[in-house]
Structure 1
């Protein structure tokens, strides 16, 4: 009976940690029902094997009747590629079997009691789960989201260890107790601990390098946004200076029309001057001066590309998010939207909508544009095969992460949407 309880607790722990490390989220009810039916079917099959063939045969078939169904379930609900799910699964297999090794090593000094093995294993679950969530999960998730290479090589370590453990029968502790060798157990534990220490250290260093690279990319984008800001400001000032320079000539012309009693010509000329004034003034989209300059510049570019632009922007002058970071978001998102719309042959189908709302020091930004070409996603991030493309979305993601916010990119029914909450 204790064997069954230990197996159940081990499975619950492993599935919980996998769910945590893979950052799973089952949003749709249909998927929940399907997953529930799948889990029920697997449990019935496992129960049938256990009741009809016994515990020993059940443990011998454990990789096939437990590991494989769990792997398939997480491939279905996870956002990550199967190879990453594969690595996490075998990492948890290595971890849970290591608990058994620790229990066997400790029980060796107390007469190799299975009760002591079980107690040690149960005690290890809670602190290990907390340590994984607090210290390991951040680096783990960062690597999963930002690195696509090397996962098969990483997987070889837990697979080799698990195959070795399986071959000596550690899945079936009742069998292992009769052939247990404490020196071998200690050596195996040191081996797997050292391997994962190096893997996690590599993850941490890679995360630091990628973070530094993202910060450099973000800085470059901020510099570009600042340059655009000053160019827009300079252009507006030049138009204003030119208008002031021509003001005397305009007044003389209007005065000439009035002297000749040609009121209609004077009125037409005044209307023309008003239009020139409107062109010299930067259109106001929000109260934030710096962001407004960026918006004005990009929206003008969009209109020049015959894109229908709709704006609903409520952004106060003072905001928790720095002006430069807001400029990074708007500049990259709108530029990507313009590039996508330009590929649509019919100008009537080109559309861009910019929404920004602020409440309780939280900013919600949503930029929606029409598109025609297929959009490829890798780990929920849009990717491009063109050189130096795709950096804009990464810069947006970096800003969101900087403020502990959330971001999402979706493409559906001909509309691409960028959403950020800061």
Structure 2
């Protein structure tokens, strides 16, 4: 009597504790490991307390009935320990009950095959629970969480499986005889249940893969549209720069006429008129165009932003050697430099305590093109989880997205880092 009672208690203890571990593997505990421990203790005490008398009388059929009723009541008691919504919790709880009933059936079948091993029922239950929990942790948990999130779709199927599995436990007057006589139909029922859950997981895996492909396609289209829009904006800027260059040529042409007029005035002895004409010319600021590299698009952008930086009181040190012909679109590279330069100017302009207002730009080609820009930054400047500049203002960060899109398109290496108060962006193409 005593050994049998101890075996029953051990088997019940394993079931109660492992149910708690499985349940809080499937759902999210509000209190972490402590919540799981509390749940395990509650399930153990409740299960043993509710079935102790029945174990003394060796009434295993009544024990199976009592266990199922106890587990249903525990579902309401343990809900406050979970982060999940009521319906998500119910879905996970029913799934836990389904797994428990399958393990009970399987452990009994193993016990009939290996009756000569002591405590075989408890050991087989423990092993089956560990295999299930490991499988969820290693392979199935993301798919299961997706099923929980879509519980309205799968809840009817899961409830029907629960009713089929629980029927043999409730519709019998002798659970031992039922498990012995109907072992094959019960095993087929377990196979059906596993196939149903497997179908759910496989379907979700396929749907997730399709969703990921569609998301990637949308992202690529967005990046393409972003680059196209940015390139269009840069083309407008370059067109404006061409007009400025044309105006410079006209101004140069006009200066030849002015020089001729000054020569005539001096030859005629009209020195005062000549001086007045020179003063007028000196009062007019003459635009200048500086050549930084052989690439027209890159040179135009650098000229524009170097002038813009100077207007903001920011010095620039520029060392660029970009050839006229590149293995990719020069306009897109010019756009990247424009965004980096513009971000650097804005960063320094917002950094009122900045003493060394200097932007360093380097762009050289040695097999691959290396672009680097460095500028001082405020102490609170930081990078996000993706290693990109964190945008704190609404509507900012578009330039960075354009740079990332360029790097992705040409498989370039993009790196941002902050050290000693300096913000550095590097691009290896």
Corresponding residue for residue 320 of structure 1: 327
1:300 aligns with 2:303: no
Counterpart CA distance in 2 for 1:154 and 1:245 is: 77
**Matched length:** 281
Q: 1:254 to 1:375 in 2, by over 3 A?
A: same
**SS across alignment from 1:356:** strand
Q: Deviations over 1:23-54 (max 9, x none)?
A: xxxxxxxxxxxxxxxxxxxxxxxxxxxxxxx9
For 2:425 and 2:148, the matched residues in 1 are separated by: 34
Match of 1:253 in 2: 262
For residue 219 of structure 1, the aligned residue among 225, 228, 240 is 228
For 1:154 and 1:338, the matched residues in 2 are separated by 49
| TM-score normalised according to structure 1 size | 0.54
Determine if contact 2:146/2:204 at 8 Å carries over to the other structure.
no
Partner of residue 426 from structure 2, selected from 416, 419, 422: 419
Query: For the structure 1 residues 194 and 188, does the alpha-carbon distance in structure 2 shift closer, same or farther, using more than 3 Å as the test?
Result: same
Q: 1:255 to 1:62 in 2, by over 3 A?
A: farther
Displacement of 1:401 in angstroms is: 0.7
2:408 aligns with one of 397, 401, 414: 401
1:382 Cα deviation from its structure 2 partner:
1.8
Q: Deviations over 1:377-403 (max 9, x none)?
A: 242222323332101011001001101
After superposition, the Cα gap between the structure-2 partners of 1:194 and 1:228, relative to the gap in structure 1 and judged at 3 Å, is: same
> Where does structure 1 differ by over 6 angstroms across 4 or more consecutive aligned residues?
57-65, 152-155
The yes-or-no answer on 1:382 pairing with 2:389 is yes
- CA distances 1:219-265 after superposition (whole Å, capped 9, x unpaired): 111111111111111112112202212312223324655787x9xx9
**What's the CA shift string for 1:65-100, capped at 9, x where partnerless?**
9xx9xxx9xxxxxxxxxxxxxxxxxxxxxxxxxxxx
Q: Distance in 2 between matches of 1:358 and 1:154?
A: 52
Q: Give runs of aligned pairs for residues 21-32 of structure 1, distance below 5 A.
A: none
2:356 counterpart (346, 349, 361): 349
Secondary structure of 1:181 counterpart: helix
Alignment of 1:259-278 (within 5 A): none
> Following TM superposition, by how much is the alpha carbon of 1:345 offset from its aligned partner in structure 2, in angstroms?
2.5
Instruction: Determine the structure 2 residue equivalent to 1:203.
Output: 212
Which of residues 374, 377, 396 in structure 2 aligns to 1:368? 374
Extract unaligned runs of 5+ from structure 1. 1-53, 73-100, 102-107, 114-120, 122-128, 130-151, 169-177
Q: Which structure has the greater CA radius of gyration?
A: 2
Residue by residue over 1:126-168, the C-alpha shift from the partner in whole angstroms, topping out at 9 and shown as x without a partner, is xxx9xxxxxxxxxxxxxxxxxxxxxx8788579xx9xx9xx99
SS in structure 2 at match of 1:383: coil
| Structure 1 partner of 2:342 | 335
Q: TM-score, normalised by structure 2?
A: 0.54
Output the aligned Cα RMSD.
4.9
